[in-house]
Amino acid sequence: MRDQSGPYFEKYDADFGLSGLTGSFALSTPPGTEEAALGLVTGKLIAYDGETPVDSSGIERLSEDERHILGFDVFHDDFGYAEELRADLAKLLDSPLSEEALGAVWLAATGGVWDPPAHGIGVRDWLARMDATCAARPPRTMVGRAPGPSWSFWRLPAVETVRDAILAEIRASAGELPGLTPALVEVATRADLDLGFRLFLRALKTAAVPVPEERCNRLCELGEPFGYPFQVVYEGLTVVWQPLEVARRLFDGDFGLSELAGQFDPIWERSVPAPELLHRSVIADGYHVPGVQALVLWEDTVRLLRSPLSGDTLTALWVAASNTDPGRFATDGPGWLRRIAEACRARLAAAAPEHTPALPPIRADLADAVLHELREATPLLEPEHATALEQVVVQVDPDLGFRLLLRVLNTASGSLTKGQYARCRALGERFGYGEDHVSYAIEHLAQDE
């Protein structure tokens, strides 16, 4: 087998290798024979070979020079699922793990749907038979993408920084995964930490162990040094979510209408239709509470629709924040906001049918501070846009007005003083924004006074 480098997210958008395969077993009808069990293995390989492992559309939009600068090459990817699966299998086959440990992990990860010893096959022998099935398949050939040398910081040695934390998570699950944790620790320490962590996650999913949201976030962070797509950790976990009402506390960066406007940069909007961009934003909850994006976007949109602002002002506001005219979508500002609100309601009805959306109280006490920063930044704004933003702050919601100001300033020409930037940072903290919100939006504008 060939060695490969680069983060897993360059090749996969979900679980992969042996942990991905055991997930397929857990969700399948129990195979009654060895032939049927190996058929599940072959089916997984065929399914992967028939699809593109990642969405390369963002890379395809770049010029050849831009790809080179970012470290991307377009090449023929013949490193298919079989190779990644064989790499995982080799880690176990080459390890000193006992039959008992291998069997315990296999049964836990697959939900016991296929027990090799019950069919007269040793677990290690079963792993070898799966490896032989993979080896018999010819490599695939398809257009994909690969990271260049600039991605070499991914995976080792950063993985070593999470070793102790991963082992602590496994050991802390002794009560939830009775009798399994010693075997998982053996896989993580005597075979491979990466594989041990993925099989631990798979065992949590298969056993439907309730995972509090804070722990889910912690597990996702532990997966980052491996370059996992977040679905490797999140997808299939039985997450115990916080109440949807805490939505705003969950964002490190922008959110709501100001975040949506940022998605409508004309460069992207020309390639992705407006309805698709809106849909992507409404459902993009990541590993937060299902419906959280729709809720914060609904709140902003409904505040504006219920406000005394004129239709022309709402149109000017969207143009200022997104650099796109809603006329491109065959509507005006109010019509576009109604479309957004309808999309949010549909998402909330599907993701959180028990939740009744309600507008939280506004921070009227911060209106004067926002107006001060808006007026200080007026030289960087179009007069019509500054007027629309001021109306939002005074007549709708200072929080929304401040976030839209940050969004407009993000693409403005000119500069802010260090003092302005510091005050905006402090104001963001008072609103409870995530630590990256203000800095991402305007730090590049801050100049020495």
Q: How far is CA 427 from the centre of its chain?
A: 28
In the structure, what pLDDT confidence band is assigned to residue 246 with cuts at 50, 70 and 90? low
Contact 399, 362 (CB under 8 A): yes
pLDDT band at 125 (very low <50, low <70, confident <90, very high): very high
173-189 mean pLDDT: 96
d(CA 357, CA 348): 8
Predicted local distance difference test score (pLDDT) of residue 310 = 97
DSSP, residue by residue, 51-118 = S-SS--HHHHTS-HHHHHHHTEEEEE----HHHHHHHHHHHHHTS---HHHHHHHHHHHHTTS--GGG
Q: Give me the residues paired with residue 417 across strands.
A: 447
**Structure tokens that stand for 194 in this block:** 């990466």
Q: Residues 6 or more apart from 262 whose CB is under 8 A from it?
A: 254, 321, 322, 407, 410
**Phi-psi map region of 81: left, alpha, beta (phi>0 left; psi -120 to 50 alpha):** alpha
pTM over 0.75: no
Confidence of residue 157 (pLDDT cuts 50, 70, 90): low
Residue 326: its pLDDT value, please? 87
CB 111 within 8 A of CB 80: no
What's the whole-number average pLDDT of the chain? 85
pLDDT at site 247 = 65
Using 50, 70 and 90 to split pLDDT, how confident is the model at 12?
low
| pLDDT recorded at residue 399 | 97
How confident is the model over 358-394, as pLDDT tens digits? 888 999 999 999 999 999 999 999 999 999 999 999 9
Q: What is the pLDDT of residues 425-439, one digit of tens each?
A: 999 999 999 888 999
Considering only CA atoms, which of 117, 85, 75, 82 is closest in space to residue 99? 117
Q: Is 63 left (phi over 0), alpha (psi -120 to 50) or beta?
A: beta
Interval 138-160 mean pLDDT: 49
Residue 352: its pLDDT value, please? 87
Tokens of 177: 């995964």
